[in-house]
Chains A and B, each alone.
Chain A
Amino acid sequence: MDWINATIQGTLLGGLYALFAAGLSLIFGIMRLVNIAHGDLIVLSAYLALTVTMAIGVHPFLALVFVVPAMAVLGYALQRTVLNRTMGDDLLPPLLVTFGFSVIIQNALQIGYTADPQKLKAGAIETASLSIGPITVGVLPLLVFIAAIVVIGALQWMFYKTALGRAFRATSDLQDIAQLMGLNRAHVFGLAMGLSLAVTALAGVFLGIRTSFDPAAGGSRLIFGFEAVIIGGLGNIWGTLAGGVILGVAQTLGAKLNPGFQVLAGHIVFLLILAVRPRGLFPRMD
Chain B
Amino acid sequence: MSETILSISGLDAGYGDFQALYRVDLSVNAGEVVAVIGANGAGKTTLMRSVSGLIKTAPETVVWQNQGIGALRADQIAAKGIALVPEGRQLFKSLSVEENLIIGGQLGRKGPWNLRRIYDLFPILEERRDVPATSLSGGQQQMVAIGRALMSNPDLLLMDEISLGLAPVIIKSIYDALPGIVGEGLAAIVVEQDIAKALSVSSRVYCLQEGRVSLTGASHDISREAISRAYFGV
The residue from A166, A167, A172, A180 contacting B54, defined by CB atoms under 8 A apart: A180
Inter-chain contact B103/A176, CB cutoff 8 Å: no
- Say yes or no: is B79 at the interface (Cβ < 8 Å to chain A): yes
Interface centre among A177, A181, A183 (most CB of B within 10 A): A181
Question: Chain B: how many interface residues by the 8 Å CB criterion?
Answer: 24
- Say yes or no: is B39 at the interface (Cβ < 8 Å to chain A): no
- Say yes or no: is A5 at the interface (Cβ < 8 Å to chain B): no
Binary CB contact string for chain B from 73 to 90 against chain A (1 if under 8 A, 0 otherwise) = 111001100011010001
Within 8 A of A (CB), among B97-140: 99, 102-104, 106-107
- Say yes or no: is A179 at the interface (Cβ < 8 Å to chain B): yes
Contact A170/B95 with A180-B84, A181-B107, A182-B152 known, Cβ cut-off 8 Å: yes
Give the distance in Å from the alpha carbon of A174 to the alpha carbon of B94 in the complex.
10
Give the distance in Å from the alpha carbon of A173 to the alpha carbon of B107 in the complex.
19
Binary CB contact string for chain B from 34 to 55 against chain A (1 if under 8 A, 0 otherwise) = 0000000000000000001110
Give the distance in Å from the alpha carbon of A178 to the alpha carbon of B103 in the complex.
9
- Say yes or no: is A184 at the interface (Cβ < 8 Å to chain B): yes
Main secondary structure of the interface of A (DSSP, over half): helix
What's the nearest-Cβ distance from chain B to residue A280, in Å? Answer: 18
Give the distance in Å from the alpha carbon of A180 to the alpha carbon of B78 in the complex.
6
Give the distance in Å from the alpha carbon of A167 to the alpha carbon of B92 in the complex.
10
Q: Which residues of A contact B95 (CB under 8 A)?
A: 166, 169-170, 173
Name the residue of chain A whose CB is nearest to the CB of B148: A181
Name the residue of chain A whose CB is nearest to the CB of B151: A181
What's the nearest-Cβ distance from chain B to residue A21, in Å? Answer: 20
Inter-chain contact A170/B103, CB cutoff 8 Å: yes
Q: Which residues of A contact B102 (CB under 8 A)?
A: 166
Inter-chain contact B54/A184, CB cutoff 8 Å: no
Binary CB contact string for chain A from 205 to 235 against chain B (1 if under 8 A, 0 otherwise) = 0000000000000000000000000000000
Give the distance in Å from the alpha carbon of A172 to the alpha carbon of B92 in the complex.
9
Inter-chain contact A182/B78, CB cutoff 8 Å: yes
Give the distance in Å from the alpha carbon of A167 to the alpha carbon of B74 in the complex.
15
Give the distance in Å from the alpha carbon of A172 to the alpha carbon of B78 in the complex.
19
**Top 7 closest pairs, chain A to chain B, by CB:** A182-B107, A169-B94, A179-B74, A173-B92, A170-B92, A184-B75, A182-B75
Chain B interface residues (CB < 8 Å from chain A): 52-54, 73-75, 78-79, 83-84, 86, 90, 92-95, 99, 102-104, 106-107, 148, 152
A–B complex contacts, Cβ < 8 Å, 10 sampled: A167-B103, A169-B94, A179-B53, A180-B84, A182-B75, A182-B79, A182-B152, A183-B75, A184-B73, A184-B75
